[in-house]
Amino acid sequence: MIENIIEINKGELLSKISEMHVQGQRLITLSCAEDDDGFMVLYHFDNDLKMTHFRVKIGRDEPLESISHIYWAALLIENEISEHFGIKVNNLALNFAGTLVLAKDSPKAPLLKKK
Amino acid sequence: MVFGMLGQIIKNFFTGYATRLYPFEQRKLYENLRGELKIHIDKCTFCMVCEKRCPADAIEVDRKEGIWTLNPSRCILCNVCVEDCKYDALYMDNHWRAPYTENKSISFKGTPPKKKGEE
Amino acid sequence: MKIEFGGIILAARTIVPFGPQHPVLPEPIHLKLELEDEIVVGALPQIGYVHRGLEGLVDKKDINQLIYVCERVCGICSHQHSMCYCETIEKLCNIEVPERAKYLRTIWAELHRVHSHLLWLGLFADAFGYESLFMQTWRVREKTVDIMEKTAGTRIIISVNVVGGVRRDLDDNMITELKDYTKEMKGVFEKFKKAFGDDKAIINRTQGIGVITAEQMIELGGVGPTLRGSGVKQDCRLLPDVGAYKNLTFEPIVENGGDCYARMMVRMRETIQANELIEEAVNKLPAGPINVDVKPKPEGEQISRIEQPRGELMYYIRGNGTKNLDRLRIRTPTFSNIPPLLKMLPGCQMADVPVIVLTIDPCISCTER
């Protein structure tokens, strides 16, 4: 299994990510997967080749808070998650509104298994 | 800088060609090259392992009639079927397939396996 | 669009599209450049021209068939994709790979690094008009691709990895040919280093262009030679479970300029270092089996990282105990290098834009999968 995963709630997400920013850790990426009752989002950080991970669980129709005001580079991957899985993301620094990887006549939310 | 270039120009008069004179001189093909998939149909027992393992769905096996079909434009030349065949019926030729204008499948007919209880 | 104040025109801004078709780009990406009288002041990216949705194939292909899907994510750096996928599944199922297989994977990985950097050096020379150097670099690259054809069977997408080891072995003829190849390439790469590094025209076009500092790179998430060109010493080949690198003498290559010249010299010196690593690995190759026979049924989640020619590649896999995976997530290095690119562009002139876009080594088919 993966070492060093910390489970946090939705409410303390922004404060934990700001702590990582102050420590100077590099954001690797976000990963999203579908569970039976909702979604699970993982945040991966790296500090001199040592990794730390945060896990957040959200329900099927709940929105996700964006971290792009702290780490600007996260907006590309959050746009892609919202297009692939149909999750609503609040407070994005730059919102592509469904045109980043999908086109106007593509199927909606293609990686979602249970519609 | 001029002397360096002049030395190179004089040297070029005495060395040979920098490229190969194709088609009079052709590079020989290497032995391990994966060019085209072929089958010895008399060794095939229609066990259907190659159809299950193919990542690109390029092989179709009809067990009742004894027909093995390949769609060559789907084959990605990965060599998994050749390595997994227990009867050594499949092999890779090291010549590239000639260019083609139509997308046709190739079929081979062999003897299908006998059913149990039949004589 | 003009900005006026009290009847006086202060500045005139135009929007110029760059791409998706451009002679200097290997793959399509679109940038909307905002220009103020020949100086770039902003850029907006647009990707999505080659999105294939390969992560959605986890339902249809099983674990061994997904190796061939992962290889075809990128056409230039394909061996490292399948190597990282196999290493993640082996970590999750606790499979022990034999030593000879690790050395063979490392040899083919370093050959891929040489061919990818030579391709990039040729395109970079073409970006500022030096077409004869472009032709000579690709001519030398043909010798590298010939060696891959002799040892593995095809030119670039070599399909040698399998869960538990490799599928092909090197016999004595191939080892002799590899040793001859590395000896010949030493002299050739030294000549290239002089041709790229000491030429006054190249120095004028690349020094001082696209400067970015180390703190900005870490905050924006840059990886690979783009990060090492700004002075940060980070390379995934230092991790203990990647290939056979812990048995070879390896030090990451770092330059301190932060501009396009420093990034070019990092890649040039990495080509020379890769040649030495191949020679050392061929001399130290141990005897033994090349794979273990396993039927993996992974359960749980795992992450692993590897160093591609363009940077750090990360795979996240989740399995549920059946022969199909639950989730496969690929994070490629160019995806992380796009925010630093948007930070390097403001302040340069319009003729420098192709040089700066190429200096992050964009591989857009990796980015969009």
How many Å apart are CA B1 and CA A97, to the nearest integer?
Answer: 58
- Whether A22 contacts chain C with CB within 8 A: no
Residue C185 in tokens: 């390439």
Express each pLDDT in A2-37 by its tens digit: 778 888 888 888 888 888 888 888 899 999 988 888
CB contact under 8 A, C220 and A73: yes
CB contact under 8 A, C331 and A103: no
Residue C322 in tokens: 């059946």
- Whether C64 contacts chain B with CB within 8 A: yes
Residue C140 maps to a domain: yes
Residue B17 in tokens: 């060609």
- For B83, the closest chain C residue by CA position comes to C167
Selected residues 160-219 of chain C with any CB under 8 Å from a CB in chain B:
167-168
Q: Which domain holds residue C172?
A: 53-336+351-368
C-beta separation of B111 from B51 below 8 A: no
CB contact under 8 A, C239 and A73: no
Closest C-alpha among C219, C1, C289, C308 to residue A22: C219
Chains A and B touch (3+ CB pairs under 8 A): no
DSSP string spanning B2-32? HHHHHHHHHHHHHS--SS--TTTS-PPPPTT
Residue B119 maps to a domain: no
Selected residues 31-60 of chain B with any CB under 8 Å from a CB in chain C:
32-34, 53, 55-56
CB contact under 8 A, B32 and C159: no
Q: Burial of C162 by CB count in 10 Å (0-12 exposed, 13-18 middle, 19+ buried)?
A: buried
Q: How far is C154 from chain B, CA to nearest CA, in Å?
A: 6
> Would you call A51 helix, strand, or coil by DSSP?
strand
How many Å apart are CA C365 and CA C354, to the nearest integer?
Answer: 19
Residue B53 maps to a domain: yes
How many Å apart are CA A87 and CA A65, to the nearest integer?
Answer: 11
Contacts of C172 (CB under 8 A, 6+ apart): none
CATH 3.30.460.80 for domain A5-90: yes
Residue C15 maps to a domain: no
CB contact under 8 A, C316 and A28: no
Cα angle value C32/A94/C12 (rounded, 5°): 40
Residue C152 maps to a domain: yes
CATH number at B50 reads 3.30.70.3270
- Total domains present in chain C: 1
Residue A18 in tokens: 């700001």
pTM: 0.91
Residue B13 maps to a domain: no
Q: Which domain holds residue B48?
A: 29-109
Residue C237 maps to a domain: yes
Residue C42 maps to a domain: no
Q: Is the dihedral of CA C61, C293, C83, C236 positive or negative?
A: positive
- For A27, the closest chain C residue by CA position comes to C221
- Whether C153 contacts chain B with CB within 8 A: yes
Chain C partners of A69 at a C-beta cutoff of 8 Å? Answer: none
**Predicted confidence pLDDT, tens digits, chain C (369 residues):** 566 666 666 667 888 998 888 888 888 889 999 888 888 988 988 888 888 888 888 888 888 889 999 999 988 989 999 999 999 999 888 888 999 999 999 999 999 999 999 999 999 998 888 899 999 999 999 999 999 988 988 889 988 999 988 988 888 888 999 999 999 999 999 999 998 888 888 899 888 888 999 888 888 888 999 999 998 888 888 888 888 888 888 889 999 988 899 999 999 999 999 999 999 999 999 988 888 888 888 888 899 999 999 999 999 999 888 888 889 999 999 999 999 998 888 888 888 898 999 998 888 888 888
- Whether A49 contacts chain C with CB within 8 A: yes
Instruction: Count interface pairs A-C at CB distance under 8 A.
Output: 72
Cα angle value C168/B79/B107 (rounded, 5°): 160
| Buried-state track C242-275, b at ≥16 Cβ within 10 A, e below 16 | bbbbeebeeebbbbebbbbbbbbbbbbbbbbbbb
CB contact under 8 A, B55 and C159: no
Chain C partners of B30 at a C-beta cutoff of 8 Å? Answer: 149-150
ipTM field: 0.91
DSSP string spanning C201-215? HHHHHHTTSS---HH
Q: Which of C303, C329, C338 sits opposite A76 (nearest CB)?
A: C338
Query: What residue ranges do the domains of chain A occupy?
Result: 5-90
CATH number at C129 reads 1.10.645.10
> Would you call A79 helix, strand, or coil by DSSP?
helix
